[in-house]
Structure 1
């Protein structure tokens, strides 16, 4: 057996997402399983090099996990020929500059979404990576969730017949930060720092709908900042300049209509923090992060509208759970493994910086749609 080491500069691991999902539950989890099996007796061993601005935080993480390499000098790590992959989970506004520098240094790049705060920058990054001949990847974790994998299985099997519509609900109450600390960093609510739920979530819905059904061809959105004042990490009040909710209607290339509400100012009355319902001529399904339940047309009840009588039908009990029928890994880790395999073996890969640019495009058009009060076409992007 041959062990091949891939050194990965990981920038942004002091943040919640970069630390929990990417470092601990993905890269370190791959190491815990003995590396990534490449076949033919070869194993890929990821070696993280932690990068960030706060030396104390980086040192603490490295000590906690027995990691030998960390630095606050991004230029130095990009100049290191033994580092072949650069990963970025910084705040969005800082991402384009760091990615440009990594691409110029010849590194393969993998990053969180959105890739940039503007479509111009997002497309520029995709062109730079293409022209430099480096491999690129953008995190699109939702399609690797067990619930959505089950939903995709149903779509591919023809369970729905002709798909009519998708209804999606995402969100939860993010505390304002006064009497309880907020679950999200304050920059999320400042437009000048790249914040806003439209910029955060519409890139997710772009790839989710594309992967499940077909590309989005038009968008009509309404954004809102329901909570105008919040309290930051130091206890100081600040004005929320970014949207905390977006209500969007999408037309898909196959004729499906999708409606997805996203909000950080909603209290949860769902089984999971995100749920999607697909309705088709032959059946319907509701999927969350992990579970998926279905109702086929052959067993669909016949409700009758009568507001004068109490509802006695157990609507939720009339649906059937879709079995797992497989072992589901952490979605972030699953995509990390595919990207590392792509870097090592040039295996097929479609979630590159151009795919990331499509998400930025949809978010940009969603904000413009809300500002102009009209539906906008979503043209297919090319480089």
Structure 2
């Protein structure tokens, strides 16, 4: 039984509700627009590793489950295709619920609204919105907006922004934002399912919306000429200024680069000089307490970093500061952690770019010597790659900087961003 990601669950929910998705993305659960017109007839594809794909084809059926392990759909008549499998999607009884914890509420029964305009809300309404001809507002569930606003906050802020007595109707739809072109195409497909003649995306690129976010970051008041007072209340609760916002600082680098020392020094500085709650997730300590069941192959190391990111995101969600110091050698896993954290707070990646030869000279644990002797397989930097970040927010090299100098570089960035005074 497979458990798709939140993004895939949102896609799957739309397919089951009969929405024909207008594009295809290998790696998710997406309908092929050339096959089928209704949910029961949709062909969908799933990216799977070869062993899982082979087993699925042999079985002929795959169950798709939500995060609680409850089956919500089945892929029947499974056949293989490059990079995964394809099958005919069928809703299971467990998927037909008004409230679904993973994919959001199912689309309510809203009468068709032909020849009117619908809006997919990627943000709340600003002053003087919506336009008078907007009869239906589609509020996405199943994930955050491009600015990281949770579905619940968006729903309440959109409702608060409607004029008193407005006849505009709200309908919640499972939707995962991707990029402007895909969002527009999918919004049109969802709007047509409701009978709307056209659907626009209330997107995050509007200059006035960027002004709203800037004011929130600076703790400046939001004037009613920009957003209604009730909307401002929801926004201020969702996005406090950086000095009160949850933050994850992840140090990444080779073993012996100095990342653990810097992480501890940063945590001590924040604890000693601010009132912010601070937690440290050091790589070695996490290995003993949280990931003792894992080995050191690629999959295990990715899982270890995901666990660190999950715990750190919980700290950030409640306004705390989490300082992490794993090696985190793979770019895709670091990006996955960044995306998770940015749904609830801010994320800062610090690359401790100390050269390999310096790390080997230090070799306080004797790990490099053992790896060179072939006694430690898949050792990062020797027999396994370290993918240097191209998205690091801060880069320091402890072979050129003292510990205090490197810490000062990180602190300067935190002060410039408003996270520390």
Into which bin does the TM-score normalised by the smaller protein fall? under 0.3
TM-score by length of 2: 0.26
TM-score by length of 1: 0.28
Larger of the two Rg values belongs to structure: 2
Considering Cα pairs closer than 8 Å and 6+ residues apart, tell me whether 1 or 2 has the greater RCO: 1
